[in-house]
Structure 1
Amino acid sequence: MSQSNSLHILLVEDEQNIARNIAEYMEQKGHVFDFAMKGKQGLELALSAHFDVIILDLNLPTMDGLEVCRQIRDKADRHIPVLMLTARDSVDDKVTGFQSGADDYLTKPFSLQELEVRCLALSRRHRLHTSDSLSLGPLVIDRKRQHILREGQRLDVSAMGFKIMTVLAEAYPQVVSRTELSQKLWGDEPTQSDALRSHIYQLRGVLDKPFAYPILKTVFGAGFTLDIQDNE
């Protein structure tokens, strides 16, 4: 894993077996971990060190995850992405979690691979929203100037092409479905069925054709994603 994809993560989880499994998997992937088993301890760590993502269990001793999240949002001097873990999967529980300031929600039992993907996506989305530019391997997306660079070369992308790349970069490494991409580009306004296909085709001509390998990838039956290779 490249250094740019290595996250500093705070895990607040009182079940030692779960914490150990998460840590072993994520550390093998190159991420750095700090731990807390109690809510108040987790809050103190969250406010005293710099973390890319906090994985926060809902049911904790001394202070539950909802209150920890509320206090992080109230007291932290920056927005720290929070992924909440819980055995509760009702809509009401999820709404309460989001209202407390959680950015994402994962119901136990979950796959460790999905947990990592969500942490990476949360961190990237946060960086994209809080900085003028986002680097993904050979790509630099400059939100302020609405420029895209590949290998330092500015790409002549259209306004719609820039929007498509921004949506895919926010979601990376997850796949964005055609329906979701269309909704983010046009909202609820109806559009021609082949409009998205046309924009994707034009974007590929600028983004991929002049280079050694394609970055914009179609996942059959699922949608679109970016294929980032850091060694370009």
Structure 2
Amino acid sequence: MHILVADDDPVVADVVRRYLERDGMNVMVVGSGSQALDELERNQIDLAILDVMMPDVDGIDVCRRIRSGSHPNLPIIMLTALGEAEDRVLGLESGADDYVAKPFSPRELSLRVQSVLRRASVSAEPPAGRLSDGEVVADLASREVLVAGRPVSTTKREFDLLTFFLGHPDTVFSRDELLERVWGWRFGDLSTVTVHVKRLRAKLGDASGIETVWGRGYRWSCRPAGGLQEART
């Protein structure tokens, strides 16, 4: 696996590099956001670790450019300053898959990298067919989402969350359950789930079936007309 680490603190970057290399990763380190974007265009990268505060182009902007550019599904982990909740939320809203707050345990970061990579791995034979409800259609093979026949761009994590909801209609899931069953994590900040639900709702608009069940979690409520359909090709 090829990991890109973008952090202008050479001490932090070196520690991260050594831990990831110990786990068998190939690591490339850069010190600015613009360098990170350049390397992404020149090299095959499997996951990017981006510090929020970097010179010229910050990590949030780099993440947004990745999501809107030629690598929309690249797994991304953000590094944020301890206590900077706004940075963490902005990172997730910009499309990051996970974040780790500084100061952090290098071992924890390494485990997060492995978890995100596992979730990002694509099977040799992607599932066929589609899941749909009302105007929302999710094609499992192409990972394309349509709303009223129009394509809607989603990150890999947003697509996974949507298909999980569509595959379990009218069932309430707590944020802890979603974190474990969609993200594959048994621990983590539950705001990760909250932010991804918010982003997915915004992208689906009025077609969204995601409902908040206060004090319990979220559920996908099927549309009255037609309901959930699963088609196999």
TM-score range, shorter chain: 0.5 to 0.7
Which of the numbers 41, 45, 53 marks the counterpart of 1:47? Answer: 41
Alignment correspondent of 1:136:
none
1:86 to 56, 80, 83: 80
- Aligned counterpart in structure 1 of residue 95 of structure 2, from 83, 93, 101: 101
CA distance in 1, matches of 2:183, 2:65: 26
Q: In the alignment, which of 109, 122, 128 is matched to residue 115 of structure 1?
A: 109
2: CA distance, partners of 1:9 / 1:88: 23
Partner of 1:9: 3
Q: Distance in 2 between the 1:16 and 1:176 partners?
A: 29
User: Does the aligned pair in 2 maintain the 1:9–1:51 contact within 8 Å?
Assistant: yes
Higher RCO (C-alpha under 8 Å, 6+ residues apart): 2
Is the 1:66–1:100 contact (alpha carbons within 8 Å) kept by the matching residues of 2?
yes
Distance change in 2, residues 1:113/1:46 (3 Å): same
Q: How many residues align?
A: 146
Task: Tell me the CA shift for residue 170 of structure 1.
Answer: 5.7
Q: TM-score, normalised by structure 2?
A: 0.54
TM-score, scaled to structure 1 = 0.54
Q: Distance in 1 between matches of 2:113 and 2:22?
A: 15
Equivalent residues of 1:13, 1:57 under 8 A apart = yes
- 1:29 to partner: Cα distance: 1.6
Matched residues in 1 for 2:111 and 2:64: separation? 24
Q: Please report how far the alpha carbon of residue 79 of structure 1 lies from its aligned counterpart in structure 2 after TM superposition.
A: 1.1
Q: Which residue of 8, 17, 28 corresponds with 1:23? A: 17
Gaps of 5+ in 2: 130-166, 169-176, 194-216, 220-233
User: Which structure would you say has the larger Rg?
Assistant: 1
State the Cα distance separating 1:169 from its structure 2 match. Answer: 9.2
CA distance in 2, matches of 1:77, 1:54: 11
Unaligned runs of 5+ in 1: 1-6, 134-141, 146-158, 181-186, 190-232
Q: What secondary structure sits across from 2:121 in the alignment? A: helix
